[in-house]
Amino acid sequence: MSNAPRADLTGWTCAPFTGGGYTHDVYRRDPDTPGPGVVLIPEMPGLTPEVLALGNHLVDNGFTVASPSLYGTPGAASQRPGMVPVMVRGCVTKEFAAFATDKKRPVTYFLRALARDLNESTPGKGVGIIGQCWSGGFALAAAVDDVVLAPVLSQPSLPIGLTAAQRRDPGLSEDELTVVQRRAAEEGLCALGLRFSEDRLSPGERFQTLRDRLGDAFEVIEIDSRPGNSGGFGKMAHSVLTLEVRDVEGQQAYRARERVVQFLKERLTV
C-alpha cells in the first residue's frame, strides 16, 4: 500500500459537462472562500484516491478545482484488477490518440471548453490546468485558449514513446505548439513541467523539445531517480504529484507539489 496522501469523494459534487463534442462527468470542489479555478485532469486509471488527495490539497490552498472523469471509476484504487481494461481502452480511443505524433487530440477541445466554463464561475485572472501521465500533454494543448494562464505538465506520457519520434514529440500538434510559443513570447505565458530523471514513460527528449521551443517559459523540475538517489525513489518512479508524494516537508516530490501551488498562485491571483 502506498504511503502517498489519499482521499475519497467526500466534499466533491458531480455534474455532466458537454464541450468540444464530448460529455464527461466533472467533479468539483470549492474552498470556503471562492478562489481561482484549476482544472485537474486525472492520470491513468482515473480519479484515484491519490488524485483526489491532490485536488483536496489544491482546495486547501484556496483553489476551486474541477476534475473531469475521462476514464475509469471515480474513487477506485490506482492499482486494481480493473485498471488494465481501462488502459487498453485509453490506447485505442480516438479521443486520446495515444500513439499519434503532431496530433490535435480531440479531448483537448473538451478541456478548453471546461476551462472557459470554470473561468466564468471563479475569480482570478484566468485558470490553471494540471495534466498528469496520460493527460500531461493535454494541459499544454489546452493553453491554446487565452483563459489558461498556468499549464502544468506532470510526467506527460503521450504519445507512448516506442520510437524516437514519439519520444521527442511534445504531446500536441505543431499548430498548437506554435500558438503556445506565441503566447509565451507576447503574453508572458509560462508552463511548468515535472518528471523523474529515469522515467521512460515520460521521456526526457519530450522535455528537451519543449525547452527548445519555449525557452525560459518552460520551467522544469526533474527529480533524481537514479540508483542510490537521495530521495530513495525507485527506478519505476513516475507520478510526481500523487503516488510518490509523502507528507514530509523536504521530500523532493513534496517540494515539487508545493512549487505547483506557488506557480498557480503566481499566475492566477489578482
Per-10-residue mean pLDDT for the chain, 270 residues long?
A: 88 97 97 96 93 98 97 82 60 76 92 98 95 94 98 96 96 97 98 98 97 98 97 96 96 98 94
Q: Mind listing the pLDDT tens digit for each residue in 33-67? A: 999 999 999 998 899 999 999 999 999 999 999 99
List of E strands, the chain: 13-19, 22-29, 37-40, 64-68, 127-132, 148-154, 191-196, 218-223
* pTM reported for the whole predicted model: 0.95
Question: Residue 45: is the preceding peptide bond cis (ω within 30°)?
Answer: yes
Residue that has been written with the C-alpha cell 505548439 in this structure: 177
Nearest Cα residue to 252 out of 211, 220, 229, 223? 223
pLDDT of residue 88: 60
Nearest Cα residue to 56 out of 21, 119, 7? 7
Q: Mind listing the pLDDT tens digit for each residue in 179-205? A: 999 999 999 999 999 999 999 999 999
Residue that has been written with the C-alpha cell 482546495 in this structure: 59
Rg (CA), the chain: 17
